[in-house]
Structures are given as structure tokens and as C-alpha cells.
Amino acid sequence: MSDAALPIPASTEADILSALGARSIVLVGMMGVGKSTIGRRMAARLKLPFVDADTEIEAAAGMTIPEIFERHGEAHFRDGEARVIARLLEGGPLVLATGGGAFMREETRTRIAAKAISIWLRADHDVIMRRVRRRADRPLLQTADPEGTVTRLLTEREPIYGKADLTIASRDVPHDKIVEETIETLRAHLCGEQAAPPPPADVASAGR
Ligand code: S3P
């Protein structure tokens, strides 16, 4: 068979976009797991808009998240967060990075299930601690024992994050590797197939 007769493989991105329709892709998981970084790169790959829910909440409130917590308290922040996410989900398809607590609210999970595919970026305690130390503006971690707080939040939240449609292990590898895995897992989920296993070594090295 000549090369010209070989079928052209459909693009992964086109497969995902067509299976997604009007639904969005929503990234959930703890602070520091890379939801915004991975989300932004996925959106660029898929040519979809990227929105960070925390940034939208700050714009809607006209103040930063630490200011919202300080002036109005966490419950007020959570109500605003749920409203902003509900609004954003009406405007899909887009890639949405949510704040670490957003998926804890049942009403938000129900909306996400109706309007999106959810992906839990899961990282272990040490990875999270290393990353959250780089930023001092997370109100929930302004405690005498941030490590203990992260442990407690992980215990409370992991069973809920586990309700997401897909789970990806976020770890200390280049971001593009996580993006690649996420895109492939998403394609397999949407197209009803197994994620493609890595090629065997002899195929991977063929033609070199
Ligand atoms: C929070 C996570 C933060 C932000 C707020 C509360 C949480 O977002 O929404 O500080 O409850 O885990 P990131 O997950 O983007 O840091």
C-alpha cells in the first residue's frame, strides 16, 4: 500500500471538541495541584477559552480573595463562588479551573455534572506543601499549622474530588506531560475507548 492510501488519523483535539459539544472541561482539586497552569495549556491545545474561577470571583467582587474572606467571611465567598461557576458553565464550552473548595458544594457538583466533564488533578501531600509554600495569599492556610490544615483538608475533600469524571495524577514532571496525559485520558473517556498505552519500546524506537 502506498503512503497516500494510509488513512489520515483524526486529530485528538478535533475528536474531543466534537464529543464535548457545548460542555466545558472543569478542573477540580486541592490548592497547588496546578489547575490553572494545566487548564490554561489544555485550553490553548483545544483552542477553547480558559477561565480561572478565582480570578472571576475577584473581578465580580472588586476585591481579592483574602479581602473577601477578611471582610465577609468564608460562607460569603462560597456563595459567590457557586454563583460565578454557575454563570460560567452557562457559557461553555470552555476550560474552567475552580478553586480548591468549589467542588465540595453539592449544588456546584450537580451543575458541573450537567454542563461539563470534571477532572480531578490529584497530588499528594508533599507535592501540595511544596507548591503552596510559594504563595502566601491563601486564607485557609493562614494557620499556625499549614501542614496539618492540608492533611485535614485532604482527608475531608479527597472522597469528594473522587466523584469527578476523571482523575489525573499531578506530580513533579513537566507540565506538558500532565497536559498530554489529561488530553489523552479525556479523549478516551469521551470517545468511549481505553486511553492509548505508551508504545512498546521497539515501536517507539522504530525508524530512528
Ligand atoms: C481555596 C482555594 C483557593 C481559593 C480560596 C479557597 C480552597 O483556590 O479559591 O483560597 O478552599 O481550597 P486555589 O485552589 O486555586 O488555590
| Residue ranges of domains in the chain | 11-191
CATH code matching the domain that covers 11-191, chosen among 3.40.50.300, 3.30.56.10, 3.30.565.10, 3.30.559.10: 3.40.50.300
pLDDT tens for each residue of the chain, 208 residues long: 455 556 555 699 999 999 999 999 999 999 999 999 999 999 999 999 999 999 999 999 999 999 999 999 999 999 999 999 999 999 989 999 999 999 999 999 999 999 999 999 999 999 999 999 888 889 999 999 999 999 999 999 999 999 999 999 999 999 999 999 999 999 999 998 655 565 565 554 443 3
Q: Read off the pTM.
A: 0.89
Q: Are 175 and 35 in contact (CB under 8 A)?
A: no
CA-closest residue to ligand 1 atom 9: 99
Q: Is 99 in the pocket of ligand 1 (CB under 6 A)?
A: yes
Q: What is the DSSP string of the chain?
A: --GGGSPPPPPHHHHHHHHHTT-EEEEE--TTS-HHHHHHHHHHHHT--EEEHHHHHHHHHTS-HHHHHHHH-HHHHHHHHHHHHHHHHHT-S-EEEPPTTGGGSHHHHHHHHHHEEEEEEE--HHHHHHHHTT----GGG-SS-HHHHHHHHHHHHHHHHTTSSEEEE--SS-HHHHHHHHHHHHHHHHTTSPPPPPPPHHHHHTT-
Residue 161's pLDDT is: 98
CA-closest residue to ligand 1 atom 11: 101
Q: Is 100 in the pocket of ligand 1 (CB under 6 A)?
A: yes
CA-closest residue to ligand 1 atom 12: 100
